[in-house]
Structure 1
Amino acid sequence: MPGMWWMVTAALIVALVAAYLIWTAGRVERLHIRAESAERALEAHLVRRAAAAAVLDEERYGVELHAAALIALDAAPQEREAAENDLTRQLRGADLDPRDPAVRTVVAASRRLTLARQVHTDLVRDALTARRRRLVRLLRMDRGYERPRYFDVDDPGLHLPGELAGS
């Protein structure tokens, strides 16, 4: 009988370790999938904001703003961050009329972009944290997934004159 308890205990330990490894591998997979989804959503919001900015009247808001919007729409992946930062600077520097429906569309797109960027940043941070865990590195649980990357841009949020920054 004493030998049987050892076998039951050993089997229980093996089952617990296996369950933990399966759970950890599943978590790493879920975090990477969510980070990839957040990246696609962020890209969609970037396109929406640039498209909305491209519709703004060139004569009223400046050729530079219109050009920055077109550049952001056509930017290659390695040039995307710089193009989006330039568009953000142009939007902030423009004297936007809050009564213009096109301006309200750009502001709304910018606010949604701010949220999408925050979600993306949080999920990339979580995926990178999971990748740094000793067990994940040792067993190479992340080998099937591309390393997530932060999208390093200025805060794209816009506030029209008369609005509070926190609203």
Structure 2
Amino acid sequence: MWWVVGVVVLAAVFSAYLGWTAQRVERLHTRARSAERALDAHLLRRAAAAAVVAEQAESVELYAAARLALDAEPGERETAENDLTRQLRTVTLDPADPAARTLIGTSRRVMLARQVHTDLVRDALSARRRVIVRLLGLTRRYPRPEYFDIVESALPDLPPLPSPSPAPPVEEVRPVQAV
């Protein structure tokens, strides 16, 4: 009789482990897809900001690279973004210009989004390589996540924004004492 209880407990533990593993695989693939969409959105914002800066600076090469990045198909996206980054390295940006500040900020967000995407893809691919995941085919429903390799942008750091004028000192209020 005790062996029946042992088998039931072992089956329960194994099924809980399988459920946890399947949920983890699903969660990692969902997060990797979300990170890919976020990276795509940041890349589009950067390309749009680069187009605005190119129009202001009358830089034909930068504008062409920005338009190519905006219009690139998924298979051509990495190449177009790398070309845009190379063009951005040749441009001198004035941090006082609001369009340049926007471009610098979006470029920073692109690099952060790329790092998050890379980390999540690495985790999802690691989960896919587990033996139990491969044996049970837990990744059949999900497309294999792919890395998005672009070069780091080398835009200048933004100077800190001027601080607002200091607030006037607050006078201490003393309570009135009854006589």
C-alpha change, 1:129 and 1:157, in structure 2 (3 Å) is farther
Q: Does 1:80 align with 2:77?
A: yes
- Aligned match for 1:99, one of 96, 100, 110: 96
* Structure 1, unaligned runs of 5 or more: none
**Which string of whole-angstrom CA distances, capped at 9 and with x for unpartnered residues, describes residues 108-129 of structure 1?**
0001111111110000000000
Where does 1:23-62 land on structure 2 (aligned, <5 Å)? 23-58=20-55, 60=57, 62=59
Give the corresponding residue for 1:63: 60
Q: Does 1:129 align with 2:159?
A: no
User: How far apart are the structure 2 equivalents of 1:59 and 1:158?
Assistant: 17
User: How far apart are the structure 2 equivalents of 1:128 and 1:157?
Assistant: 29
TM-score by structure 2 length? 0.85
- Aligned match for 2:140, one of 120, 138, 143: 143
C-alpha change, 1:59 and 1:23, in structure 2 (3 Å) is closer
User: How far apart are the structure 2 equivalents of 1:162 and 1:61?
Assistant: 24
User: How far apart are the structure 1 equivalents of 2:32 and 2:158?
Assistant: 35
User: How far apart are the structure 1 equivalents of 2:36 and 2:158?
Assistant: 31
- Aligned match for 2:10, one of 10, 13, 36: 13
User: How far apart are the structure 1 equivalents of 2:56 and 2:31?
Assistant: 42
Q: How many residues align?
A: 160
Relative to its length, the structure with more helix (as a share) is 1
User: How far apart are the structure 1 equivalents of 2:70 and 2:20?
Assistant: 40
Q: Give the number of the structure whose alpha-carbon radius of gyration is greater.
A: 2
User: How far apart are the structure 2 equivalents of 1:157 and 1:106?
Assistant: 12
TM-score by structure 1 length? 0.91
- Is contact 2:133–2:139 with CA below 8 Å preserved after alignment? yes
Shift of 1:58: 3.5
Letter in 2 for 1:26: Q
C-alpha change, 1:59 and 1:27, in structure 2 (3 Å) is closer
Letter in 2 for 1:90: Q
* Structure 2, unaligned runs of 5 or more: 161-179
- Is contact 1:113–1:157 with CA below 8 Å preserved after alignment? no
- Is contact 1:47–1:73 with CA below 8 Å preserved after alignment? yes
Shift of 1:5: 0.7
- What is the aligned-residue RMSD (CA, Å)? 1.6
C-alpha change, 1:161 and 1:139, in structure 2 (3 Å) is closer
